[in-house]
Amino acid sequence: MTIATLPDTTDARAADSQWAVETHGLTKRFGENVAVNGVELLVPRGCAFGYLGPNGAGKTTLIRVLLGLTHADAGSMSLLGYSVPRHRDLALARVGAIVDEPRFHGHLSGRQNLQLLAAAREPAARDRIEASLDRVGILHRADDRVSKYSMGMRQRLGVAACLIGDPQLLVLDEPMNGLDPAGMQDMRDMILSLVAEGRTVVLSSHLLDEVERTCDAVAIVDRGNVIRQGPISELLAGSSLVLQVDCSDPDRARSLLQTTNIGADIDASEVGLGITLPAGTGRDVVAEINRVLVEGRISVYRLQEVQASLESWFLQVTSRLGAPQ
C-alpha cells in the first residue's frame, strides 16, 4: 500500500474526527498477563492530555500499541482520525513520540541523529532540524556526540525528534525524567506552547503535580484498564471535600462531631482536625460543623476548605479501584 493510492476522502474523514486518539476495546496480552484490557480512550484534539497510572499499569504498553510498535490482540483504534494499523503511515506522519527513555545512536551528534530520522519522514523534515534543536534549547550542543549528553539533554533531543515532523499529536512518555527544575519548567512551557499552537499532547507521567499543572484532561489507568478519564476540574469536583479546622481542643471537637450525623472521617492532631466529607457535600454541612464546635464552647481559629489535588484524587481512585483483587 502506498500513500498515493489512498483516496482523498480518507484525509477528509480524518480531519473531521474530533478525537486525536480513539480506542475501543483495545487489548494487548503478554501470555497470561493482560497489559491492556479493553481500553476505551478518547483524547480530544488540541489539548494536553495526561495519562496516569501506577508502575506496571500498562501505560507504556498502550502507547506502544497506539504507535504500532507492537500489535494489539483485539480492539480498534485511530490516531487523528486515521484507522490504525490500516492507515498507520498516514497517521504517524502527523505524530511525534517519545516512548520510554529517549535513546539515540551515541556515536552520532544530536543533529546527525535528527538527520537520520528526518530522512525517514517527509523531505521538509530536514529543514526543521535547526528550529527543533533551537526550540528545545540544545542547538549549542547539536554537534556534540549524543554519548556525551546528559539524560535531560537526551529528553530534549527526543522532543526535538518529535518536532521535526511538525506533528499534530505528540505522545510523550515521562518527558520530565532527568530534567532539573529549570528544565522541567522549560518542558512545561513548551508543552503548553505546543497546545497553544493547536497540537495535541498526550503526556504519560508519574509526576502528578506536573500533569496537573500542564494538562487539561487525564485518564487513569490501572491493571490495563482505564478507570477514569475526563477534564481534571470535573474529576476533582467529584472527589471528597477536606476541611482543615484549627481549634482549641481537637480531641473534644472530634468527640462532638462524631455524635452528629454529618458522616465525616475525622482525624485529630495537636493543631486541629482534618475532616473528610463525602463528594458532593454542600456548604451547609461546613456551617453545621462550625455551629457544633462553637456551641460546644470550642474556639475555632480557622476553618479552611482544602483544595483536592490530582495526587490525592489519584491515590484515592487507584487505592480503591486498583486494590489487589
Partner 1 sequence: MTTVSQVSAPLPTPAPSGMGGPRDHRGSFVPTMGMIATRFMELRKRRGLMVALVLVNIGIPVVFLGVRLVLHASAPKSYGPAGGYNIYTGLTAGVLYIFGFIVAATLGCTAGSIDLTEGMFRHLVVTGRSRLALYLARIPAGLAIIVPLVALGFTVVCAVCVFAAPTRINYDGASVPAHLSLSGFETWAGNNPDPVICDLPYDQPITVSVPCPGGGQVVINGPGPSGATVQNVPSSPSDIKAQAIQVAQEDYPGYKMLFLYPSDSLMIETGLWIELEATVGFIVGLGLASLLGQRTVPVILMIVLEIVLTPILSRAHLPHLANLQRAVVGLATAHLAPGGLPVLGGGGGGPGGGHGSPALLPESTTVAVCVILAWLVGWTILGAWRMMNRDA
Q: Which of residues 53-82 bind partner 1 (CB under 8 A)?
A: 64, 67-71
Instruction: Enumerate residues 151-170 that contact partner 1 by CB under 8 A.
Output: 161, 165-168
Please state, in angstroms and rounded to a whole number, the distance separating the CA atoms of residues 170 and 199: 8
* Member of 122, 143, 251, 265 binding partner 1 (CB under 8 A): 122
Please state, in angstroms and rounded to a whole number, the distance separating the CA atoms of residues 10 and 133: 33
Q: Which lies closer to partner 1 via its Cβ, residue 170 or residue 241? A: 170
Q: Closest distance between partner 1 and the C-beta of residue 121, in Å? A: 5
Q: Closest distance between partner 1 and the C-beta of residue 161, in Å? A: 6
Q: What is the pattern of x (binds partner 1, CB under 8 A) and - over residues 196-215?
A: -xxxx---------------
Q: Which candidate, 249, 261, 245, 255, places its Cα nearest to that of 297?
A: 249
182 lines the binding site for partner 1 (CB under 8 A): no
Please state, in angstroms and rounded to a whole number, the distance separating the CA atoms of residues 217 and 309: 14
Q: Closest distance between partner 1 and the C-beta of residue 1, in Å? A: 5
* Member of 21, 52, 93, 172 binding partner 1 (CB under 8 A): 93
* Member of 91, 243, 256, 293 binding partner 1 (CB under 8 A): 91
Instruction: Enumerate residues 231-250 that contact partner 1 by CB under 8 A.
Output: 231, 234-235
Please state, in angstroms and rounded to a whole number, the distance separating the CA atoms of residues 204 and 53: 8
Q: Which lies closer to partner 1 via its Cβ, residue 54 or residue 231? A: 231
In the chain, alpha helices (H): 9-16, 59-66, 88-92, 110-120, 129-136, 151-163, 181-196, 208-214, 232-237, 250-258, 283-295, 310-321
Please state, in angstroms and rounded to a whole number, the distance separating the CA atoms of residues 221 and 170: 19
135 lines the binding site for partner 1 (CB under 8 A): no
Backbone angles phi and psi of 194, in degrees to 5: -65, -40
226 lines the binding site for partner 1 (CB under 8 A): yes
Q: Which lies closer to partner 1 via its Cβ, residue 72 or residue 273? A: 72
Instruction: Enumerate residues 19-48 that contact partner 1 by CB under 8 A.
Output: 19, 39-40, 42, 44-47
Q: Closest distance between partner 1 and the C-beta of residue 22, in Å? A: 10
In 138-271, alpha helices (H): 151-163, 181-196, 208-214, 232-237, 250-258
Beta-bridged to residue 265, according to DSSP, are 276
131 lines the binding site for partner 1 (CB under 8 A): no
Backbone angles phi and psi of 262, in degrees to 5: -80, -10
